[in-house]
Structure 1
Amino acid sequence: QKDAIDHKPDLVMINVGVNDVWHAFFDFQNIQFYPQGNLPTGVPLAQYREKITQMVLAAKAAGIRVVLLSPTPIGEILDGPENRRLQEYIAAMREIALQNQCLFIDLNAPFREVIGTYQKHAGKTLNLLAADGVHPNPSGYRIMAFTILRGLGVPTKDIENLEVKK
C-alpha cells in the first residue's frame, strides 16, 4: 500500500520470490546451507501465492496496471535445490498473472539461458550475472532491462543499444 498504491502510479511491477525460497535453504546468521530447504525463514508456496494475489488485487482495485516479473535464479547452480524449488514459485506467479489478466515477464528464463550457455562452453562458474549470486551485476541488469522493455512491447531495434548505468 504505502510503497506503491499510495503514490498512485499508472503501473506497478512486482518482482518477488528469490528471498522467499533462498531463506528456506540458507541460514544467514550461522552461514550454513540446508539442502532440504526446510528453514522456517523461507516463505511457503501457499503463502507466496496468497501475498502476490493480494498485491495484484489491491493494485488493480486502485486502477493500477500490474506486471509480474519472475524472480531471477538463486546463485548460478541452475540444477541446485533452490532453483528447482524456485520454478514452482515462478509457475505460481505465471498462474496468478493469467488468472488476473496481468502481464507476466519471465526474467528467470533469459538468465538461465545465458548462464547455461556460458557454463556449457566454459565450465561451471559463479556470479556471471550477479555480484553475490542473487543481486544482478551490470550484465544481469542489462538482461533484466532488455527483457522488461521487450515484454512491455518496445521493439528490439529501439533498445538493442541500450545503456544500463548503475
Structure 2
Amino acid sequence: MPFQSKDRIVFIGDSITDKGRKKDPLKLGTGYVRLLRDYLIAAYPHLSLRIINEGVSGNRVTDLEKRWTLDVLDHRPQWVSISIGINDVWRQLDSPDMEQVYPQRYEEVYARLLEQVREIPGCRPILMEPTVIKEYPESTGNKLLQPYVEAVHRLADRYDAILVPTHKAFLDYLRCDTGHDLTTDGVHMNPLGDMLMASTWLKAVTGASGRL
C-alpha cells in the first residue's frame, strides 16, 4: 500500500478533473476524483488521507504552468496526479486560429512542471494519459492525441512517475463495442467514464506500489 498517514494527493487537470468542483461543498466535483476519494477514505480510514481537486475547465498544459505554484507546490503534496492534454488537441480542432500547444511544446512545458515537483521532498507524480476525443478509436482527435500520449510515456520514464494508461483503457473498451457510452459528448465523462478512469488509476497505482 503506497500511501502513508495524512498524505496529501493533489489531482490537477482540465474539466474532466474539475467536474463541477466549485459547486461541491467538499470541492471534489462529481467525477473520477470523487470516486477515488470515496474509495480511499472508505478503504483506509486510519490514514486520514487528504484529497485535493485542482482541476479547471478548459485548461491546457500551459494553463497549468501559470497556476502551478498556488495549486500544486503550495500544498506540499506527497502525490500529484496530472491529467492534461485533451484541450491541447481540442483547440486545434475547434479554434485553429488561436495559439496552439503542439506536442513538442506540450512536452517541454510538462517537463518544467515535473522538474518543480522534484523539488518537493517525498513527492511522486502520477501521470494520466489523456483519454479520448470522440468515442471511436480512429477519430481525428484520437489520432492527434497519439504524440501527446507518447510524450506522457517519456515523461513518466524520465521523472519516475506512475503511468496511468487511461487512453489505452478507453480505446480497449471502445473496441469491445459494448453499446455503453463513456462520455456525454465524446470528451466529458459520464458516470461510466469516470468509473473507468478511477479504476484504471487504482490498477496503475497498485501495480507500481503494491496492493492498495
Task: Classify the TM-score, shorter chain.
Answer: 0.7 to 0.9
Q: Which runs of 5+ in 2 are unaligned?
A: 1-68
Q: Tell me which of 154, 163, 168 is aligned to 1:95.
A: 154
What's the offset of the Cα at 1:39? 4.4
Identity across matched positions, percent: 28
The alpha-carbon distance between structure 1 residues 39 and 25, as it changes in their structure 2 partners (threshold 3 A), is farther
CA-based RMSD of the aligned residues comes to 2.0
Letter of the aligned partner of 1:99 in structure 2? Answer: R
CA distance 1:39–1:87, shift in 2 (3 Å): farther
Q: Give the aligned partner of residue 186 of structure 2.
A: 133
For residue 50 of structure 1, the aligned residue among 108, 121, 138 is 108
**2:155 & 2:97 partners in 1: Cα distance?**
25
CA deviation after TM superposition for structure 1 residue 4, in Å = 1.1
AA aligned opposite 2:72: A
Aligned to 2:89: 21
CA distance in structure 2 between the partners assigned to 1:42 and 1:24 by the alignment = 7
CA offsets, 1:2-45, max 9 Å, x none?
11110111100111100001110113xxxxxxxxxx54343111
Residues paired across the two proteins, number:
140
Matched, 1:152 2:185: no
Q: What residue number does 2:120 align with? A: 62
SS in 1 for 2:131: coil
Q: Which residue of 1 aligns with 2:13?
A: none
Q: Is 1:25–1:42's contact at 8 Å kept on the other side of the alignment?
A: no
* In structure 2, distance between residues paired with 1:83 and 1:147: 19
Task: Give structure 1 stretches of 5+ with no counterpart.
Answer: 28-37, 160-166
Aligned partner letter, 1:8: R
Partner of 2:70: helix, strand, or coil? coil
TM superposition score normalised by structure 2: 0.61
Question: Tell me, what secondary structure is at the counterpart of 1:13?
Answer: strand
Which consecutive aligned stretches of 4+ in structure 1 deviate over 3 angstroms post-superposition?
Answer: 38-42
Letter in 2 for 1:14: I
Q: What TM-score do you get using the length of structure 1 for normalisation?
A: 0.77
CA distance in 1, matches of 2:73, 2:105: 21
* d(CA) in 2 for partners of 1:16, 1:87: 13
Shift of residue 114, structure 1, vs aligned partner: 1.2
1:106 to 150, 157, 165: 165
Letter of the aligned partner of 1:58 in structure 2? Q
